[in-house]
Structure 1
Amino acid sequence: MMWTAFPSLLVTSFYFLIHESAQWLITRNDIDGAISRLQRVAKFNKREVSEMDFEDFRKHCSKSSESTKSKEDTHKLPGLLDALKTPRLRKTVIEVLILFMIITVCYNTMARNVEGVGISPFIMFTLNALTLPPSGLVQAQLQERFGRKFTLVSSVLLTGLFTAAYGTVLTIWKQVNVTLLVALLLTSRFGISVATGATMQFCTELIPTCVRSQILAVGTIAGAAASFLSPYIQYLDTYSKAGPATLLFLLFIVCTWLCLLLPETSNKKLPISLVDGEQFGVGEGMFDFLRKRRSNKVDKVDASAETQEKLMPE
């Protein structure tokens, strides 16, 4: 208990080590606070940024805030209910919440599946844990090269196929090779780890900054509430060995469909206000993310070439 609690206690130090989001502070009209954070980040990264650049940044934020006044009530900070009043953004929020619930249920169910494989559950837990570091590295590489949406869709779909293969093997063969079962389970565990990390990244970028913390908090709670289904899904193997795998496969198919409905976020200017969130991804097709990634260019931003050069890492 003490050893498992110790890493959690380290998270409390994040409050003193990690800066508040400058983008979020801007949505709260705290431009001075945002500039203060950016100055500290520039100092830590040993980047020389002049006061004139920060002054231009201040004017840009003030101008953007004034242009938003006619579209949003700046005297009232937008919240979850305000996001649900917008047609397209409401659809995105609902899909994000469902994604959180499905991924959490699938992750917890697959994490519990350590018995009946033919090896010690302690060894199976250890093998499952060994898949986590490489899954994070693979996720980062896939997102960098192919984008967020491709990473999530491919990982969810492939994990569903391997889960279906696991259920098929249990159904067809009475005496199943232990090595084959363990290999299929570890592959599925690897895939769901990639899918979970990709879901967190993708959904975070889809939600506008002004309501991001509220919606992601609701999504986390919704996923935790839905995870109570995990033991019942796992209990289906008492009636049918392939029961849990079949149900998980169907959930992965639903998850893949929801992912296809959402717009790509890679190399795009992410939404900040509710207006941005409502317009984000307009006109984008379901399979536009399959186009060659290198042909896509980053959205233009209002910054001088000199300033961009100073802020870019060497």
Structure 2
Amino acid sequence: MSAAGTEDYNDLTSFLGDYGLFQNLIIVMLTLSAFPSGYMTAIFVFISDAPEYRCKESIGSTQNSSWAGPDSCSRYKLNRSWDETEQCLDGWVYSTDRYTATIVSEWDLVCENAWKVPFSTSLYFVGVLVGSFVCGLLSDRFGRKPVFFSTMFLQAIASLIQAASVSWVMFCVFNFLRGFGQVAVYILSLVLGTEILRTSARVTFSVLGHSGGFGIGYALLPLAAYFIRGWRMLLVASGIPPLLFLSMWWVIPESPRWLLQKGRVEEAELIVRKAAKMNRVPAPEVIFRTGESLELMENKHEEKRTHTYMDLIRTPNMRNTTILTVIMWLSGSLVFTGFSLNTSNLNGDPYLNCFFTAAIDLVVYVVTWLVINRVSRPTLVSSTMMFCGVMLLATLLVPEDVPILGLVFALMGRLGSCGSFTFIYVFSAELMPTVVRNMGIGISSTAAHIGNIMCPYIIYMGVYSKVVPYIVFGTISVGTAAVSMLLPDTRDSKLPDLISEVRPIRRCCCLK
């Protein structure tokens, strides 16, 4: 048998079908694992929100001496003229109309300490950046399953300990660890589903399952936050589901594709035989012959070896694919995450805004599933990003006395952002070969979260001018829409296993 990549693997496992009990169980389990990722990132909207605040009364103040000042960061001096002010020397009083406590009211992160709020959020994305880089390398070397469950445990424990933080510094440390675990779990659930499932089930899982699980988790966040008004208990509630999910170790298998790529043929065959038994279909006497299995994953130009991140730029096709994928993830994730964190700056109730945003996401996932196999991948990514950019830039034309129109444009932009980012996840998994797939998605995610580290500061500028985030996000979306058209269409194509099977990018008319 010649090395034919994914088509050969699909042929050898075709007796399993696409939607048997085994595949449906994998889809459900990995979808559930994506729930925490949906609310982990956006939870900052509620635990880091700044309630209304004012200076505490000065000790010894009387009925006729007001503590109030020209702003919330100063007060008029006691028994002095009304034009003399001083800092809030006795601290602040915070409104409890919306929250019983947030980290802002817990550690007085206002006025000269207001910078600590976006900084703590950025540290979460630093953890995401490091996690996507490190865990991509570890999972390609040691396996998808052990790294997946290890980081699931880290995600749960970090959330629970963070809820008991005694200082802002401790909160930041566990913010980093929580981000490290969250991104690894989310990426590895996508990689596991992509490599275990066959073509039809893979697309359904990626769009409706993986992305839909993220959206459902995001939609549950405002509901939980509405009933849990304290930041500590909200973090406890967020850490329990991933802890319970650890029991799925005995249900979710290792990726057979990864096992074959490592030459562990007997283990891969055992997983496939268990799947056949669950689906109640007969399995061939021999599924993978050792020699044939090695041909599935390597050829004479690509001997079996340990791959590194350098393989992502070693050949022209692989290098071009990596660069363009990194650009897509950088801009797509920046805009998508920016929308989630910008909920508090939108007009209206933050709980409803968060829920409406999540509802839009869920609608987009269904629409994406319906059209993803009918339109080329580059066209889908480009058109949705362009739509997002145009809607965001259109907010500049909205009169100040019609804020509801600006909210409509913003939510429409969210629709395009969610659609493009959903396509990017599916598209990237299909572009990257098995031997470096998790490293490729990991490095793309790393680049994306470099942008996300800047997200809180872009959102923070929205406190002074609500249109600034939209200008930044809109401009980035329009530029990336043009770049994404260079990538090859992977619709109805085999999943590449080898670097030599990576397709070239599409050339511009001005290039040779």
SS at match of 2:343: coil
Q: Aligned runs of 1:41-190 on 2, under 5 Å?
A: 41-51=275-285, 54=287, 60-64=292-296, 68=299, 70-74=300-304, 76-169=305-398, 173-178=399-404, 180-190=405-415
Q: Aligned runs of 1:1-314 on 2, under 5 Å?
A: 1-51=235-285, 54=287, 60-64=292-296, 68=299, 70-74=300-304, 76-169=305-398, 173-178=399-404, 180-237=405-462, 240-277=465-502, 280-281=503-504, 284=506
Give the TM-score of the pair, scaled to structure 2: 0.49
Amino acid at match of 2:389: G
Query: What stretches of structure 2 of length at least 5 have no aligned partner?
Result: 1-234
Q: Determine what percentage of the aligned residue pairs are the same residue.
A: 22
Counterpart Cα distance in 1 of 2:290 and 2:366: 37
Amino acid at match of 1:268: S
Counterpart Cα distance in 1 of 2:258 and 2:309: 15
Query: What stretches of structure 1 of length at least 5 have no aligned partner?
Result: 288-314
Counterpart Cα distance in 1 of 2:406 and 2:445: 31
Amino acid at match of 1:16: W
**Structure 1 residue 13: deviation in Å?**
4.2
**Structure 1 residue 9: deviation in Å?**
2.6
Counterpart Cα distance in 2 of 1:46 and 1:194: 37
Counterpart Cα distance in 2 of 1:156 and 1:10: 37
Deviations 1:205-230 (A, max 9, x none): 11110011122222223322321211
**Structure 1 residue 193: deviation in Å?**
1.9
Moved over 6 A (4+): none
Counterpart Cα distance in 2 of 1:18 and 1:285: 41
C-alpha change, 1:118 and 1:82, in structure 2 (3 Å) is closer
Moved more, 18-27 or 254-263: 18-27
Counterpart Cα distance in 2 of 1:125 and 1:199: 23
Give the TM-score of the pair, scaled to structure 1: 0.78
Deviations 1:147-200 (A, max 9, x none): 43333222212111211222332xxx121142x233222222222222222111
SS at match of 2:372: helix
Q: Would you tell me which structure has more helix in proportion to its own residues?
A: 1
C-alpha change, 1:116 and 1:34, in structure 2 (3 Å) is closer
C-alpha change, 1:3 and 1:51, in structure 2 (3 Å) is same
Name which one, 1 or 2, has greater alpha-carbon Rg: 2
C-alpha change, 1:197 and 1:10, in structure 2 (3 Å) is farther
**Structure 1 residue 269: deviation in Å?**
1.3
Q: Which has the higher contact order (CA 8 A, sep 6+)?
A: 1
Deviations 1:38-57 (A, max 9, x none): 222222233333225x25x6
Counterpart Cα distance in 2 of 1:114 and 1:242: 13
SS at match of 2:489: coil
Paired residues in the alignment total 275
Moved more, 43-52 or 29-38: 43-52
Counterpart Cα distance in 2 of 1:159 and 1:251: 10
Counterpart Cα distance in 1 of 2:322 and 2:377: 17
